[in-house]
Every structure is written in structure tokens, then in C-alpha cells.
Amino acid sequence: MWAYPEIRTLGQYPEYWARHDPGRPALRTLKRTVSFAEFDRKANQVANYLLDEIAVPGTLIGFMGRNSLDFYLALFGTAKTRSGLVIYNWRLAAGELAEQVADSGARTVIVERDCEALWVAVCAVIPDPPETIWIDADATLEALVADAPHTTPPEHVNLEDTAFQLYTSGTTGRPKGVMVAHGATNMMRLCEHLEPAYEWRAGDSFVNGLPNFHLLHIGITVQCLYNGVAIDIVRQFDPPAMLDAITRMRPTLLTLTPTMLQMMLDHPAAVTADFSSLRLTLYAGSPISLGLIKRAIAAMPGKFMQFYGSTEAGGASSILRPDEHDLNDEEKLKSCGRPLPLVAFRIVDAAGRDVPDGENGELLIRQPSITSGYWRQPKMSAAAIDHGWYSSGDIARRDAEGLYYIVDRAKDMIVSGGENIYSAEIENVLSTHPAVAAVAVIGVPHDRWGECVKAMIIVRDGHAVGEVDLIAHCRLQLAAYKVPKSVDFVDAFPLVPSGKVSKKDLRAKYWEGAGRAVA
């Protein structure tokens, strides 16, 4: 049943391959290749270094920085201790990031010098900031731990221990740390192993320029390394850097959000890029347009596969398999596919009753890799997961063939370029402006990003304010991708009978005819 029965915990991934195929490439940059044997030795050194007073069972160690060899050593080194690695979003504003850092309770954080200005600003607003381990190109984590033992640490890691933690904001704007246990990572691998659409070949490599604070990055990374697939490291997503890496490193596997895929294909260098090594391109994070998937299939060789998942689910929940990418069946290309083996979906109405095929309802997910909960938030954990069923917050429907379609987001989440943006967080910021009497934030169509943020404002009597002023107000407190791209001024909001703002009615005029259902 298990592909590799010896593997139980995340830290054992490199250990397994170091024993069975030590020379196999594990991590590659344009300048260097690290074998699984070397990877395991260096991860052991990181673990032994951390176990000397830093790693404590049940606590978190932080990391903030872009993709690098050091990041992978931190992830798998920490996984060999009973601490978890919490990966912070370096794209956030200082105040937002400070909330995550304070919530996590991490007492030690590994920080790249590239993030120094942001990190200093974060520490300035935290009463008791964590200890900082600074790393950069000249003082790497690898060099820092060079004198630590490279033998397997004596620590016995339990399946219920947290392997890593990622943050996702709730509709209240409060950060939620999603704990992913070692046992969950192992069960996710079982779901994938039982799925015939996944194929792994000797010599495979995955080019990874995804942001490491997203599950899209972590999920594909650990899936590949479990199966002995090398990671081709790209520091961060940038179209020319990705195109150069694909041409020069010759990867066989690629994963991008639809927005990233479009940006890459839009870049002038795409015309001369060599995509011939790619045998599979995966895409996830937001729906893809028919025009973009047709364009990608024409421009790039190999097969395509979509997957739908979430941080809480621990990875992919469903996939639209390569043989279901039929350009003659446009409706099917809008689907997020069918559940993976061992994964179950339900679509329910507001009373929790299953709805018939073709009708919309909230998607509930049950899979063995579901999160063990939100960090230090038991009530919120219990509300999200009821008897093993995770409430996704997505509105979905199933067709007669058993294909699932995500048609809206129940919690007014906006997905812009693969980034999840919560309207309540932006509304809270705008509500602090003295000229704002009331505010509602919605997502509206955008050709490149899929959706972008629009704020709708009722101005306070006796005040005057313009779009430029309100956008500037948001820039001071929010990450750039969360800042509204436009502001409309209205006299009143449509209301539902309970007195709440009807965002469905606000969105309707923007989305009608745009190819997305308005629920």
C-alpha cells in the first residue's frame, strides 16, 4: 500500500534516499547539485544544532526568506526534531507579519538579510521579539551548522508532532496557523501513491519558484522529495528567471498558478525559451481561463494537470487529470476534477443536508491529511472540522459525471493571482479612515490576476475623500497585493433581511457575463 513503508516522518524523506540511492540529485541550483546523501547529512547538522537549546518539543522555529538551499535544510532539519517550522510571509506589511510572529510564539527565527528592514520593523512592535539567526549568501545556515554532528539525531519524532505551520487569514482578519503533522504528510503521500495519474520517473526534477510560505510550494516540494525527485531551486517567481531556469536546468515537472503561467507566457523571452524537457505542468491556486489553458497547451509540450486543495487539507484534495484536459470539452476544463483516493467530498446546503448533482452548496472535505487544527485556537479548529469533515468555505457543485466545480467562495474570499485575500481585513483598515462611514470590499474580474480588490465606500457626512487617498491609507497597513485597485463611492449598500450587506448584489454587475457564477 505504501510506496516507501520505511518513511514515517518528514525528516525521514532524505534519510530514505540517502540509504537507497545516495548519489541521486536532491537539490539543484544553476551552480550546484546536492545529492540525497549530502542533503541528509546537512539536514542532520541543522537538527543537531537546533537541538542544542533551540528546538523544544511542541514549539515552533521560524523561517523568513526566499527559496534557497538553506530553506530546504531548515525545513527538513527542523523536521528531524520535535519542533515545527513556521514559515512567515515576507510579502506582508510589518504590522501584519508581527501578528503572525507573535501568534506563533516562536522564540528563534531564521531570517535572510534580504528581509532585514521588514524584520527589524516587526521586532520593533513585538514586546518580546524572538532571537534572530541571520543568514545570507556569505553566512549561510549551511556554514553556521558546519561543526554540528552529521549523524541522525537521537530525537524520536512522533506522528502527531507538527512538521510545519503555515498561516492563512480568516474572515475576521486574525491570523490562523495551520498545523500540519508528520502523520498528515505521510497520509497525503498515501493518497497520492494510490492515484494512477501521478507518475514518477528516474531523472525527474521539479523547477520550484513558488513562494515557500504557501502550501502550493511546500506540498509539491515534499511530494517530489518523497518520490526521489530533485528540486530545481528558483529564488522567487519572476518570469525571466523561470524561463531561464527551464531552459538551462531542463526540468521535467513544473507547477504554477494560472496567473504565473500567464505572466511567463506573456514575457518576450517565452518565444525563445526551451520547454521541451517538460512532461507535466501542474496548475492550481485559482481557476484557469479557457483561453490561457489553450494557449499553454499550444506553447508547451507534455501534459497538464490541475489540482484543488487547501492548507487545511494538507495538500491536493482533487485533480483534473491529464486525460480530462479535452479542448473539445470546454465545460470540463472549468472543473477541479475528482477527489483523490481516500478523499471524500460532500456538497451541503445551509442546514448541512447533501444537495443533488447540479445544485450549489458548501464543499465539505474529508481526507486523512486534514490539519490537526489551528495553532492555539481550539474553538476555531472545532468550527472548521466537524467529525472529520473540513468546511472549505467554497461553494461548489457536482455534475452527472462526478466532476466538481468551484463556483464561488462562501466567505467572500478574493483570489488574486493565486493569493487569498479576505475582504474583512481590508474593510477593517478602511474603516479607520475618518472620512469613511461604511465600507464593503469585493473581488471584481481582472484579465491578468483573475480577480482584483475593489472597495465600495459610503463617505461620512461633512467629509470629502478621493480614491487616491484611500488607496494610500491602505498601503500603509496592508501588503501590496491586498490594496484595493479601485474605489467606488455609493450612497447605500444593498442589504439582506438580517441587515447585513449583500455582497452577492454588489458583485453581480461586475461578474455578469464574466464567466463566473454569482452566488
Q: How far is CA 319 from the centre of its chain?
A: 16
Beta-carbon contacts of 55 under 8 Å, excluding residues fewer than 6 positions away, are: 47, 61, 78, 81, 82, 83, 155
The CA distance from 433 to 466, in Å, is 12
Q: How do residues 244-256 score in pLDDT, each as one tens digit?
A: 999 999 999 999 9
Average pLDDT over residues 369-398: 93
CB–CB of 204/252 below 8 Å? yes
* Cell numbers at 276, concatenated: 521541451
Under the banding of pLDDT at 50, 70 and 90, the label for residue 287 is low
- Dist. CA 51–CA 153, nearest whole Å: 8
Name the CATH architecture for the domain at 413-511: 2-Layer Sandwich (3.30)
Give me the residue spans of the domains in the chain.
Answer: 12-395, 413-511
Closest CA to 422 of 433, 409, 405, 434: 409
Look up residue 301 and give its DSSP letter.
-
pLDDT digits (tens, 9 = 90+) for 99-144: 999 999 999 999 999 999 999 999 999 999 999 999 999 999 999 9
Q: What is the pLDDT of residue 409?
A: 67
Query: What pLDDT score does 448 carry?
Result: 87
The model's confidence at residue 427, banded by pLDDT at 50, 70 and 90, is: confident
Q: Do domains 12-395 and 413-511 have the same CATH topology?
A: no
Is the model more confident about 171 or about 23?
23
- Confidence band of 519 (pLDDT split at 50, 70, 90): very low
Q: What is the pLDDT of residue 410?
A: 67
Which CATH number is associated with domain 12-395?
3.40.50.12780
C-alpha atoms less than 13 angstroms from C-alpha of 418 in its C-beta half-sphere:
24
Rounded distance, CA 288 to CA 515, Å? 11
Express each pLDDT in 37-87 by its tens digit. Answer: 999 999 999 999 999 989 999 999 999 999 999 999 999 999 999 999 999
Whether residue 413 has pLDDT greater than 80: no
What's the pLDDT score for residue 171? 41
**Sheet containing 162-169: which strands, arranged edge to edge?**
131-135, 108-112, 60-64, 84-87, 162-169, 175-181, 373-374
pLDDT of residue 384: 93
Higher pLDDT, 400 or 438: 400
Name the nearest CA neighbour of 200 among 3, 1, 2.
3
Look over the chain and give the mean of its residue pLDDT values, rounded to a whole number.
92
**Nearest residue to 519 (alpha-carbon basis) of 428, 410, 416, 358:** 410
Q: Average pLDDT, stretch 395-424?
A: 83
Which pTM does this prediction carry? 0.84
